[in-house]
Amino acid sequence: MPPLRDLITSAALDLTPSERKVVRALLDQYPRNGLGAMSRLAERAGVSDPTIVRLVKKLGFPGYAEFQEALLSDMDQRLRSPSALLQQHAQVHQDDTWGQYLHDCQRALQETQALTQAEDVRILVQWLLDNRHLVHCYGGRFSHHLAQYLLSHLRLFRPGCQALEDCARLADAMLQVQHHDTVVIFDYRRYEARALRVATAAKARHARVVLFTDIYASPLRELADLIISAPVASGAAFDTLLPAMAQVEALIACMTRRSPDLAERLDSVDALRNEFGVHLLEER
């Protein structure tokens, strides 16, 4: 049998939306979230106990106890592997803060890849490219640049995209959110009250909420229809948003492959930019 973490992230698994919530909860703090009571995992994932049972059986285990045994075995093998031991005991010169930080970033990106569910990415790309419904982006104090970066690219792919700015006009912007629109929210610890209000208002207006967040217990999780998680811990005094930026760029790459009329739209955009003299240097 392959490693359990590979098994639960396999693209071959045919999971229901509720079962994908359980997988997300497991991956967020793997394997800790799966080592407690089944009811606790169900509560964290926002599903019922029978959903956990169905997922466990779909993974090939007769019951939750056997699934937990596999979790413990998987954890033990990872801790005993030579590569893991070498990484744990690697000594870095204490003055090499630059190199150590970049090394930590590489590890964070690897962890981010392990959190990815292919089906979640497919659904998200489908929602964002659906021109029948608007897309609204919101970011917080530090994460607003992620929202703006995504929004700038979305406008190249399709019409009907707007920013939900953290300002006095936010309430007016929320009036534009309609049934089945997609509201993309970036919110990382220490979790902002305004982001919670945006998510609550979006759900009240029957929109789909996509939450880009960390791997911890964000209060917005229970409101989200789709969650894209990333580690944020770093070796410095501040959290890192590098993995989140990588996720946004990976999302843009996925949309590029799925957008049939992107080339035509980009030609139109370039023509307009030429008319307005946007760029200092133009190809001749």
Question: Which CATH number do you get for residue 23?
Answer: 1.10.10.10
Q: Does residue 116 contact residue 123 with C-beta atoms inside 8 Å?
A: no
Q: How far apart are the first and last CA of the chain?
A: 58
Same domain for 123 and 41 = no
- Within 10 Å of residue 1's Cβ, how many Cβ atoms? 10
Same domain for 128 and 51 = no
Same domain for 176 and 84 = no
Average pLDDT for 205-218: 92
> Is 284 contained in some domain?
no
Same domain for 124 and 46 = no
Same domain for 125 and 39 = no
Strands (E), the chain: 135-139, 161-163, 182-186, 208-213, 226-229
- The domain tally of the chain equals 2
Most confident region among 21-25, 49-53, 70-74 by mean pLDDT: 49-53
Same domain for 164 and 204 = yes
229 vs 246: CA distance, rounded Å: 12
> Is 243 contained in some domain?
yes
Q: Does residue 197 contact residue 173 with C-beta atoms inside 8 Å?
A: no
Residues 6 or more apart whose CB falls under 8 angstroms from that of 53 comprise 38, 63, 64
> Is 174 contained in some domain?
yes
Same domain for 241 and 179 = yes
Residues 6 or more apart whose CB falls under 8 angstroms from that of 105 comprise 234, 240, 242
Q: Tell me the pTM.
A: 0.74
Residue 144's Cβ-side half-sphere holds a number of Cα atoms within 13 Å equal to 11
DSSP 69-83: HHHHHHHHHHHHSHH
Query: Which range of residues forms the domain containing residue 71?
Result: 15-90
Residues 6 or more apart whose CB falls under 8 angstroms from that of 44 comprise 25, 33, 217
* pLDDT tens string 73-132: 776 555 455 455 445 445 545 568 888 889 889 999 998 988 888 889 999 999 999 999
> Is 269 contained in some domain?
no
Average pLDDT, the chain: 87
Same domain for 85 and 147 = no
Count of residues in the chain: 284
Cα→Cα distances 73→88, 91, 104, 211, Å: 19, 28, 26, 32
> Is 3 contained in some domain?
no
Please confirm whether the linkage preceding 31 is cis (ω < 30° from 0): yes
* pLDDT tens string 240-266: 999 999 999 999 999 999 988 888 888
- Within 10 Å of residue 64's Cβ, how many Cβ atoms? 18
> Is 209 contained in some domain?
yes
> Is 29 contained in some domain?
yes
> Across-strand partners of 139?
186
- CATH value at residue 177: 3.40.50.10490
Measured in degrees and rounded to the nearest 5, phi and psi for residue 33 equal: -65, -20
> Is 278 contained in some domain?
no
